[in-house]
Amino acid sequence: MATIGQDERDRIRKSLNESRVELPDGTRVPRLGQGTWNMGDNPAAAQEEIRTLRLGVELGMNLIDTAEMYGEGLSESLVGEAIEGIRDEVFLVSKVYPHNAGRGRIARSCEDSLRRLKTDRLDLYLLHWRGSVPLGETIEGMEKLVKEGKILRWGVSNLDQADMEELLGLPGGTRCATDQVLYHLGSRGIEYDLLPWMREHRLPAMAYSPLAQAGSLRKGLVTHPAVREIADRHGVSPFSVMLAWCIRGGDVIAIPKASTERHVLENARAAALSLTEEEQRKLDEAFPPPTRKKPLDII
């Protein structure tokens, strides 16, 4: 069981509360949420995963991201259990498979997600990635779900700048709330074009795999001396540094996945950690920002 004093709990909650990210419709969400990919796959781990998600919500990381794809519904079912009794405190995000995002299928997918999540509405519904269904058809389906009150808003995931431009040019396209994309210290491609473009259009980005999955170790990110030195100076884990870096701009929402209370606590600590300009410069030296267009990184 992770320990956290009341003072620190209050400090984390306060910083998450005070520095929220504004969605295009004015709704404000925390800069740090919680991912759930692979959660619910192992029944023996379920209770700890549920405790972890609830601790995260208590700390103010109350945006929870899931998808019909994750464990073919197992993740959504676990989230449904985790948010029982606290649904109204949570900003709930799920995603539709591209092959289910067309006319006649999206409504069914959404209903199935709502049933597994034991709720009557999603706060945000995302197209998981672009498939063969025309974007215009997906927008129509999403807008119908909004009218019916099944979802409060919609967005996309894994769309690069050209796809986003196309989306926003379609009828209803400007009602897109976010693009959820891969973004971490070792994968900064979106800083070259997509992120500035989204800023111009006042669209916040949602950063998935902000810890580079388990790869933060393998790729030498958290063991890099620049990251370690900053972590040591602030008395936090290198993972907290990676997250603090990810949300430094104020308009990126990071959704790390943690399945233990110790991990979620370390991740929450990133909320109260602001990196100095000097520290950011050191991280830029170690992990340079892009100087040319790179295709969008996708997992």
Ligand X SMILES: NC(=O)c1ccc[n+]([C@@H]2O[C@H](COP(=O)([O-])OP(=O)(O)OC[C@H]3O[C@@H](n4cnc5c(N)ncnc54)[C@H](OP(=O)(O)O)[C@@H]3O)[C@@H](O)[C@H]2O)c1
245 binds ligand X (CB under 6 A): no
73 binds ligand X (CB under 6 A): no
By beta-carbon proximity to ligand X, the closer residue of 72 and 278 is 72
Q: Which of 19, 260, 274, 280 binds ligand X (CB under 6 A)?
A: 260
By beta-carbon proximity to ligand X, the closer residue of 147 and 205 is 205
Residue 201 neighbours by CB under 8 Å, 6+ apart = 168
128 is in an annotated binding site: yes
Count other C-beta atoms under 10 Å from residue 190's C-beta: 24
Q: CB of residue 242 vs ligand X: minimum separation in angstroms?
A: 8
Binding segment (CB under 6 A) for ligand X, from list 171-179, 186-194, 195-203, 208-216: 208-216
Residue 52 CA to residue 47 CA, distance in Å, equals 9
237 binds ligand X (CB under 6 A): yes
Q: Which of 259, 274, 280, 297 binds ligand X (CB under 6 A)?
A: 259
179 with 135: CB under 8 angstroms? no
208 binds ligand X (CB under 6 A): yes
Going by C-alpha positions, the residue among 104, 152, 159, 151 that lies closest to residue 127 is 159
By beta-carbon proximity to ligand X, the closer residue of 15 and 178 is 178
By beta-carbon proximity to ligand X, the closer residue of 33 and 141 is 33
273 binds ligand X (CB under 6 A): no
Q: CB of residue 147 vs ligand X: minimum separation in angstroms?
A: 25
183 binds ligand X (CB under 6 A): no
Q: What are phi and psi of 157, to 5 degrees?
A: -145, 145
Going by C-alpha positions, the residue among 269, 232, 254, 255 that lies closest to residue 5 is 269
Residue 236 neighbours by CB under 8 Å, 6+ apart = 266, 269, 270, 273
21 with 29: CB under 8 angstroms? yes
Count other C-beta atoms under 10 Å from residue 92's C-beta: 25
212 binds ligand X (CB under 6 A): yes
Residue 145 CA to residue 124 CA, distance in Å, equals 11
Binding segment (CB under 6 A) for ligand X, from list 54-62, 190-198, 204-212, 226-234: 204-212
Structure tokens at 249: 């701009």
152 with 123: CB under 8 angstroms? yes
Q: Which residues are catalytic?
A: 70
Q: CB of residue 201 vs ligand X: minimum separation in angstroms?
A: 20
Facing residues of 125 across strands?
94, 154
* List of residues contacting ligand X (CB under 6 A): 35-37, 65, 128, 157-158, 180, 208-214, 237, 239, 255-260, 263, 266-267, 299
Q: List binding-site positions for substrate.
A: 128
